[in-house]
């Protein structure tokens, strides 16, 4: 019954771009302010879900309410328009089936372009009903809505009637009263209380949506005053079903909220207004209301326009839908920074040990123009000298003859190996690049290493090399007055091709008094750098392969049985069978990190997600690893509400993460490591630690993790098991 209940509730909330269950229950209650419409809406949803399951439609789409929310508003609409009869119920369930069919068809056709079908099935079905029912003698229009107060009495006795009448007689400003009635009209109602409850639910669910419904309403109201299309006031449903929904869709749900999307929310209202007027003059000939068809036309058109990148990235379509503009925005901003280079090839430094960048990008010596994005490396001693006592011959330089490595997997594309080393201080301008190797890593992506030692190549053209394989040795050939290693990334296979900027994945920078790990960055001139080296104990402890099982227990909390899965999109995640929660993660040779969490925030898995948000799989060097959590994981307080309101324009709050690996001991079983991490909230210049964690790694396994809850320290013990 759980998937069915989820589908039922989502059918109510998804109309307001939400999957919040409490909000859905509120909307379910509001729909029964008109009991007849409420019951027809509920039965329509139930029948649509049963039909979708019977026909084998996609389970996820069913649970999200995708195939049933149109049936809901169709049922509410028909319950508000017609009297009940046997013919009515037959017609209702027939048209509900057709609405599900239309939803699937439109999803297939519009989905190819990444577009939603919105309320098109509802409008089409209700138009069909209104066109044909005049020929059905057994179907009759109702006058119940004239005496709706009687329905309220039947639903909640005199107390409810008195409360509704009190709300209706409130001395509200006309604009505010119109706003609430417009919201209630989405459920074919016309009362202030229903609109007030919906507005309250929206405010609690999403501050961005609340601001956008106000923008849509006010913009439509002002536009109508200017053009005087409806001097006596607009129809409530036109406002709610078109202008308000359009503003939210274009301003912050199907797109990542920003200044530009808010601007488009304003622009979309006059466009929708024109479509309302034009379409109304056409449908009016058949006595058909336009309903929400203008909303569908405007939103689908603008989303397709945005998908064509006409705005040069100023408007970004929501990459992953969380059914909350705040979550969509915070996840986008977080992942934009964290996962920016996730699809890049992870190039490493092409040498062993500590080398210094003697010439960086756009250097003053030879790295200019088309060849500006290149790096030169040498080895220096503690006095920053590149040679020993004498600099008379290449052999006296520390880097000469040192192994040169493949920076990533690939095929050897070209080799030149016939050029002698230069005497110190002299160069070979005829063979500028000297002995060189070009390795192909992907289509249009090559690395070139030059000034290599003659006769020192360990590979030949056509060989496949792995990252870290020795391919040659550093020399002094070509335009090289002193031994050094030239490294560049290029798009063509020819030696000496045009360079372009491309980051190196993970490396360590030794600065005076500070050591740091750089991720997907480019070494700067004068920096001493070396490759990161993974710790085998940490690598094994965080090697969560599909099928891996872990039993986790802690005093005062529900035990968890965790299992690792991989979904259809090849995303790995840890799933807790008890809390029904999932923590998605990524792992490479250097870093383990979580990318998303779904489920119960009081579960042990959630605390583990926070504790191990980003773990450096090495103990050398000992450095603090930092990151940021998405802001939706902040506590819901006044500062977070303020941040939500202004989040499309400015981010003034941060939820930070920091971790440090410390070696406790080393023996034949492996390294015992303690990972200490903490979560910090930063508000302007104020910082506060919100939680601290300790993860114990021993015998190549996660032994336990400790966290704070309600000012108490809780230790969760982890036991690897096979279930």
pLDDT digits (tens, 9 = 90+) for 277-301: 999 999 999 989 999 999 999 999 9
If asked whether residues 327 and 394 sit together in one domain, one would say no
Would residue 540 count as lying in a domain?
yes
Query: What mean pLDDT do residues 530-547 have?
Result: 91
CA distance 222 to 220: 6
Would residue 147 count as lying in a domain?
yes
pLDDT digits (tens, 9 = 90+) for 323-337: 999 999 999 998 887
Residue 149, pLDDT score = 53
Looking at residue 517, which CATH number applies to its domain?
A: 2.70.70.10
If asked whether residues 388 and 441 sit together in one domain, one would say yes
Is the pLDDT confidence value at 147 over 60? no
If asked whether residues 584 and 638 sit together in one domain, one would say yes
If asked whether residues 408 and 476 sit together in one domain, one would say yes
Query: What mean pLDDT do residues 160-168 have?
Result: 61
Share of residues in the chain with pLDDT > 90 (%): 70
CA distance 199 to 149: 22
Looking at residue 319, which CATH number applies to its domain?
A: 1.10.3430.10
Would residue 198 count as lying in a domain?
no
The DSSP secondary-structure symbol of 387 reads B
Last residue of a domain, one of 478, 510, 531: 531
Q: How many domains does the chain have?
A: 4
- DSSP for 431-468 reads TTT-EEEEEEEETTEEEEEEEEPTT-----TT-EE-TT
Would residue 348 count as lying in a domain?
no
If asked whether residues 506 and 628 sit together in one domain, one would say no
Least confident of 8-17, 150-159, 335-344, 669-678: 150-159
Nearest to 197 by CA among 74, 79, 29: 29
Residue 310, pLDDT score = 54
If asked whether residues 371 and 332 sit together in one domain, one would say no
If asked whether residues 78 and 158 sit together in one domain, one would say yes
Would residue 200 count as lying in a domain?
no
CA distance 239 to 245: 9
If asked whether residues 518 and 371 sit together in one domain, one would say yes
User: In terms of residue numbers, what domain contains 237?
Assistant: 206-338
Query: What mean pLDDT do residues 235-243 have?
Result: 85
CA distance 558 to 554: 7
CA distance 568 to 562: 19
If asked whether residues 598 and 492 sit together in one domain, one would say no
Would residue 346 count as lying in a domain?
no
Is the pLDDT confidence value at 190 over 90? no
Would residue 443 count as lying in a domain?
yes
Residue 723, pLDDT score = 45
Residue 711, pLDDT score = 85
Last residue of a domain, one of 191, 218, 241: 191
Q: Where are the beta strands (DSSP E) in 341-434?
A: 355-359, 374-378, 403-405, 410-416
pLDDT band at 1 (very low <50, low <70, confident <90, very high): low
Least confident of 12-16, 319-323, 395-399, 476-480: 319-323
Would residue 315 count as lying in a domain?
yes
Last residue of a domain, one of 338, 370, 388: 338
If asked whether residues 681 and 703 sit together in one domain, one would say yes
CB-based burial, 668-677: b 16+ in 10 Å, e otherwise: eebbbbebbb
If asked whether residues 541 and 498 sit together in one domain, one would say no
pTM: predicted TM-score of the whole model, two decimal places = 0.84
If asked whether residues 124 and 217 sit together in one domain, one would say no
């Amino acid at each position: 019954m759980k998937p069915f209940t989820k589908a039922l509730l989502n059918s109510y909330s998804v109309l307001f771009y939400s999957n919040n269950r409490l909000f859905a229950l509120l909307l379910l209650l509001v729909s029964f302010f008109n009991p007849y419409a409420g019951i027809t809406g509920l039965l329509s949803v139930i029948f649509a879900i049963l039909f979708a399951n019977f026909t084998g439609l996609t389970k996820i789409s069913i649970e999200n309410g995708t195939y049933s929310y149109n049936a809901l508003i169709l049922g509410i609409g028909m319950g508000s328009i017609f009297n009940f009869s046997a013919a009515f119920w037959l017609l209702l369930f027939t048209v509900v089936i057709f609405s599900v069919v239309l939803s699937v068809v439109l999803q297939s056709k519009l989905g190819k372009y990444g577009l939603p079908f919105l309320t098109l099935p509802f409008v089409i079905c209700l138009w069909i009903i209104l066109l044909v029912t005049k020929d059905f003698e057994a179907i009759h229009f109702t006058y119940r809505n004239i005496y709706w107060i009687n329905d309220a009495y039947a639903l909640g006795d005199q107390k409810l009637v008195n409360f509704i009448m009190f709300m209706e007689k409130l001395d509200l400003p006309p604009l505010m009263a119109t706003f609430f009635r417009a919201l209630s009209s989405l459920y074919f109602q016309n009362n202030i209380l229903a609109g007030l409850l919906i507005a309250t639910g929206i405010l609690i669910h999403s501050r961005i949506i609340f601001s956008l419904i106000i923008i849509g309403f006010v913009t439509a109201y002002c536009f109508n005053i200017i053009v005087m299309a409806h001097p006596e006031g607009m129809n409530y449903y036109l406002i709610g079903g078109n202008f308000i929904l359009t503003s939210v869709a274009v301003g912050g749900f199907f797109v990542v909220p920003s200044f530009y999307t808010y601007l488009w929310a304003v622009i979309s209202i006059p466009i929708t207004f024109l479509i309302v007027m034009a379409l109304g003059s056409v449908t009016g000939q058949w006595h058909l209301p336009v309903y929400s068809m203008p909303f569908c036309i405007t939103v689908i058109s603008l989303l397709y326009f945005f998908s064509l990148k006409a705005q040069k990235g100023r408007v970004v379509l929501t990459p992953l839908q969380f059914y909350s503009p705040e979550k969509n925005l915070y996840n986008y901003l977080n992942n934009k920074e964290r996962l920016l280079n996730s699809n890049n090839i992870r190039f490493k430094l092409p040498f062993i040990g500590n080398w210094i960048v003697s010439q960086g990008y756009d250097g003053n010596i030879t790295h200019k123009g088309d060849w500006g994005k290149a790096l030169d490396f040498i080895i220096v001693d503690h006095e920053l000298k590149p040679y020993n006592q004498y600099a008379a011959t290449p052999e006296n330089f520390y880097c000469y003859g040192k192994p040169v490595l493949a920076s990533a997997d690939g095929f050897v594309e070209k080799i030149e190996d016939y050029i002698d080393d230069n005497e110190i201080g002299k160069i070979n301008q005829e063979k500028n690049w000297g002995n060189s190797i070009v390795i192909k890593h992907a289509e249009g992506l090559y690395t070139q290493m030059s000034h290599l030692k003659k006769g020192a190549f360990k590979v030949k053209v056509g060989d496949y090399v792995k990252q870290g394989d020795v391919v040659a040795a550093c020399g002094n050939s070509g335009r090289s007055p002193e031994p050094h290693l030239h490294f560049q990334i290029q798009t063509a296979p020819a030696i000496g091709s045009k360079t372009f900027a491309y980051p190196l994945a993970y490396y360590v920078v030794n600065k005076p008094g500070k050591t740091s790990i750089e991720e997907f960055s480019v070494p700067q001139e004068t920096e001493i750098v070396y490759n990161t080296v993974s710790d085998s104990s940490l690598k094994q402890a965080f090697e969560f392969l599909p099928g891996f099982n872990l039993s986790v227990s802690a005093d005062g909390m529900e035990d968890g049985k965790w299992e690792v899965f991989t979904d259809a999109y090849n995303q790995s995640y840890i799933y807790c069978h008890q809390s029904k929660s999932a923590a998605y993660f990524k792992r490479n040779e250097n870093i383990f990190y979580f990318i998303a969490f779904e489920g119960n925030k009081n579960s042990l898995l959630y605390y583990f997600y926070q504790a191990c948000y980003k773990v450096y799989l090495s103990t050398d060097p000992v450095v603090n690893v930092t990151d940021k959590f998405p802001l939706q994981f902040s506590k819901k307080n006044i500062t977070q509400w303020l941040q939500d309101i202004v989040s499309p324009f400015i981010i003034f709050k941060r939820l930070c993460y920091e971790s440090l690996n410390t070696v406790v001991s080393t023996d034949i079983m492996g390294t015992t490591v303690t990972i200490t991490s903490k979560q910090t909230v930063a508000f302007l210049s104020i910082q506060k630690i919100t939680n601290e964690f300790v993860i114990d790694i021993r015998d190549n396994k996660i032994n336990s993790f400790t966290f704070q809850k309600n000012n108490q320290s809780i230790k969760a013990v982890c036991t690897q098991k096979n279930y």
